[in-house]
Amino acid sequence: MNKLLLILLVLFAFSQCKKDNPAPEPLPEVASIVGKWRVIAYGRTVGDSLVTTPAAAGDKEIYEIRFDGMFLNEKGFLPCCMSQKLVIDGQVFVPKPLAPVKSDPSCMVVDCMPCPQIKITRPVAENLLIEPCTGLFLTLAREK
């Protein structure tokens, strides 16, 4: 009887253990673009035209837009020289970190001036067109 009671007590104790915290719900302003994105092309404007160059076949540059809207590089750091003020389909959004975030240590050796904002548009489903500075573009595809 004591063994049965002990087993039930142990099972009850383990059933009360907390599970891992689920991923936080994304903010509504960024919910549709939260996730990991792979660069598939680079672009720049020349006159009135957009000239694009596909990313190299082995190139796997990844960015993440976090649940709170923070734009991070593949290492989970804030990218060098990128503004954190986002304009998503014409709507201004300034993310405020809801979880810790650090600047990329390699930024200490980079001399640059960030542009005032990053424009993000969705030309087709599962793709983003990001304009980190006027005239420069990144085309990203959602990582599966």
Using one digit for the tens of pLDDT, what is the confidence trace for 98-112?
999 999 999 899 888
Q: Domain residue spans in the chain?
A: 24-142
CB atoms within 10 A of CB 80: 17
pTM of the model: 0.78
Please report which confidence band the pLDDT of residue 126 belongs to, taking 50, 70 and 90 as the band edges: very high
In angstroms, the Cα distances linking 134 to 40, 43, 56, 112, 130 are: 19, 11, 23, 15, 10
Structure-block tokens of residue 37? 């994105």
